[in-house]
């Protein structure tokens, strides 16, 4: 399949990848192009910024979560018929699993998808030293896939001379420069960038940046580079072929928490639930008084409940409703912030104690640093999740909060490490804890969840008939 594409990467976090990616997306969008975007790795927030620009949801591509075939499938599924696909890298280009491998790095994604990469260089405080910096990245791996550079925070006066040096001495194309655009900075907080809806006049700022990039970046050259990407050979994963055969079954209604407090949702997770026979019914624990009617399951994702603790506490009716249906056996999958919300109490950012749903005994509390961070392999000690035998599932954790009751039904093993810890509350109807799951990593997990939802619906029918 022909997918015009390139990957924007950098030598380290904090190099300006997200801002520059959004500026390029906006410039392409302003030209009338049909643009799709991807974030390398498990990040939730950067794709939200992409989505604000392109007007549709951005997706993740993560080679820790998915094998090579599935990664290419997800790329083509999300990018088919687009004029250009732009991928944003993660951390430094070669930084992968465990801090000691290139697995799951931006480089790994470029290799798996055979995508040309453009290295964004933070040039602040450098001139000629940029050359050995570029040379090191290009030559570190023989198949580096780096086919150009883009110079960030570069002086307009210095740019022509540095471009000439790089192209004449290293024979690496330079696709322009990004001057310092002070009014377009993006602020951060404890889990990364602030959410795009919180940035004042974000659209105006990105349009101003796009206007600058039209003058300083070789956008035509980037489009040509994207069109030079080789066709991809793609196969549909076998499990999806089996899912297609089950589409005759009535869809199960899954209540999905979605608002300012619960916003960490993977686009591909929700779409996979729908492919497997789920009907997504959004609701807001922050703003709604009641759950959607006739639910067969509940998904409480991560986000920022700690920023809205007292507001969530005031939603007493929906908290009591959630507790009631969970006690009646409604299946629930709760991750990180959603898990915190299920506690008796949880602390907000100021350390104030707020009432939660009360389904998980104990308190979730704020810590001064990242409690656990990075990729993990999660294995049920009983080898069962939602009553089904399931192998280990790839997941990740990233949180400044902890719990008096994290759960002990599963074990989280750090890849490329001897570290690990107990985690998660796992019963026939619940999986709740700090880990975030990407469903394509082990499709048996969402399948088991939906099967349990179908069982719950059938049990409801039996009880209703008896009454």
Query: 318 near 289, Cβ under 8 Å?
Result: yes
Average pLDDT, the chain: 92
pLDDT at 87 over 80: yes
In a domain, 13, yes or no: yes
Same-domain pairing of 338 and 435 = yes
pLDDT at 29: 94
Same-domain pairing of 259 and 390 = yes
pLDDT at 423 over 70: yes
461 vs 440: which has the higher pLDDT:
440
Same-domain pairing of 256 and 213 = no
pLDDT at 188 over 60: no
Distance CA(412)–CA(399), nearest Å, equals: 15
Q: What angle do CA 426, 389, 42 make, to 5 degrees?
A: 65
Give the confidence band of 53 by pLDDT, cuts at 50, 70, 90.
confident
pLDDT at 281: 98
**Per-residue pLDDT tens for 137-164?**
999 999 999 999 999 999 999 999 999 9
pLDDT at 196: 67
Same-domain pairing of 23 and 128 = yes
Mean pLDDT over 397-418 rounds to 94
Same-domain pairing of 118 and 165 = yes
In a domain, 216, yes or no: yes
In a domain, 235, yes or no: no
pLDDT at 399: 87
CATH number of the domain at 208, please: 3.40.50.300
pLDDT at 183 over 80: no
Same-domain pairing of 214 and 268 = no
C-alpha separations of 19 from 32, 37, 47, 84, 444 in Å: 20, 13, 12, 18, 36
In a domain, 239, yes or no: no
Distance CA(239)–CA(222), nearest Å, equals: 36
Q: Where is the domain boundary, 227, 261, 285? A: 227
Same-domain pairing of 342 and 390 = yes
Distance CA(341)–CA(347), nearest Å, equals: 10
pLDDT at 413 over 90: yes
Same-domain pairing of 216 and 352 = no
**Per-residue pLDDT tens for 239-293?**
988 776 666 678 999 999 999 999 999 999 999 999 999 999 999 999 999 999 9
In a domain, 241, yes or no: no
> Can you give the residue range of the structural domain that contains 127?
5-227
pLDDT at 317: 98
Q: Which residues are catalytic?
A: 336
Same-domain pairing of 295 and 265 = yes
Same-domain pairing of 257 and 127 = no
Number of domains in the chain: 2
pLDDT at 159: 97
DSSP string, 112-161: HHT--EEEEEE-TT-STTHHHHHHHHHHHSTT--EEEEEEES--TTTHHH
**Per-residue pLDDT tens for 114-135?**
999 999 999 999 999 999 999 9
In a domain, 46, yes or no: yes
Same-domain pairing of 176 and 258 = no
In a domain, 234, yes or no: no
Q: Give the lowest-confidence range in 41-55, 221-235, 303-317, 336-350.
A: 41-55
Query: 325 near 296, Cβ under 8 Å?
Result: no
Q: Where is the domain boundary, 227, 259, 294? A: 227
In a domain, 165, yes or no: yes
């Amino acid at each position: 399949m022909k997918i015009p594409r390139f990957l924007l990467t950098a030598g380290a976090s904090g190099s300006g990848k997200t801002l520059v990616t959004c500026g390029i997306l906006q410039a392409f969008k302003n030209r009338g192009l049909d643009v799709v975007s991807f974030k390398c790795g498990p990040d939730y927030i950067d794709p939200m910024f992409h989505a604000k620009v392109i007007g549709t949801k951005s997706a993740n591509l993560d080679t820790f979560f998915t094998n090579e075939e599935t990664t290419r499938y997800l790329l083509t599924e999300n990018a088919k018929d687009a004029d250009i696909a732009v991928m944003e890298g993660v951390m430094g280009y070669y930084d992968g699993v465990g801090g000691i491998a290139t697995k799951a790095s931006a480089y790994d994604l470029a290799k798996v998808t055979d995508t040309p990469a453009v290295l964004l260089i933070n040039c602040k405080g450098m001139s000629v030293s940029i050359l050995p910096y570029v040379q090191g990245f290009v030559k570190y791996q023989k198949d580096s896939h780096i086919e150009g550079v883009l110079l960030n925070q570069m002086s307009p006066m210095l740019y022509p001379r540095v471009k000439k040096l790089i192209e004449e001495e290293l024979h690496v194309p330079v696709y322009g420069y990004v001057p310092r655009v002070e009014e377009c900075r993006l602020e951060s907080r404890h889990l990364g960038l602030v959410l795009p809806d919180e940035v004042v006049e974000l659209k105006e700022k990105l349009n101003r940046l796009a206007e600058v990039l039209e003058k300083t970046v070789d956008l035509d050259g980037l489009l040509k580079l994207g069109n030079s990407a080789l066709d991809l050979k793609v196969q549909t994963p076998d499990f999806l072929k089996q899912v297609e055969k089950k589409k005759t079954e009535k869809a199960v209604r899954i209540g999905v928490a979605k608002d300012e407090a619960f916003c960490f949702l993977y686009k591909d997770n929700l779409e996979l639930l729908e492919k497997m026979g789920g009907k997504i019914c959004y609701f807001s624990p922050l703003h709604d008084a009641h759950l959607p009617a006739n639910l067969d399951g509940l998904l409480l994702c991560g986000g920022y409940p700690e920023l809205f603790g007292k507001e969530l506490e005031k939603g007493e009716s929906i908290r009591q409703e959630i507790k009631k249906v969970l006690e009646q056996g409604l299946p629930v999958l709760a991750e990180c912030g959603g898990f915190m919300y299920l506690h008796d109490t949880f602390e907000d950012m100021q350390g104030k104690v707020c009432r939660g749903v009360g389904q998980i005994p104990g308190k979730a509390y704020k810590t001064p640093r990242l409690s656990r961070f990075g990729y993990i392999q999660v294995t049920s000690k009983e080898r069962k999740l939602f009553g089904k035998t399931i192998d280990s599932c790839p997941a990740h954790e990233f949180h400044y909060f902890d719990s008096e009751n994290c759960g002990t039904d599963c074990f989280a093993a750090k890849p490329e490490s001897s570290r690990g810890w107990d985690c998660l509350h796992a019963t026939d109807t619940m999986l709740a804890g700090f880990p975030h799951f990407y469903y394509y990593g082990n499709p048996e997990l969402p399948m088991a969840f939906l099967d349990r939802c179908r069982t719950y619906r059938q049990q409801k029918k039996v009880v209703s008939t008896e009454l």
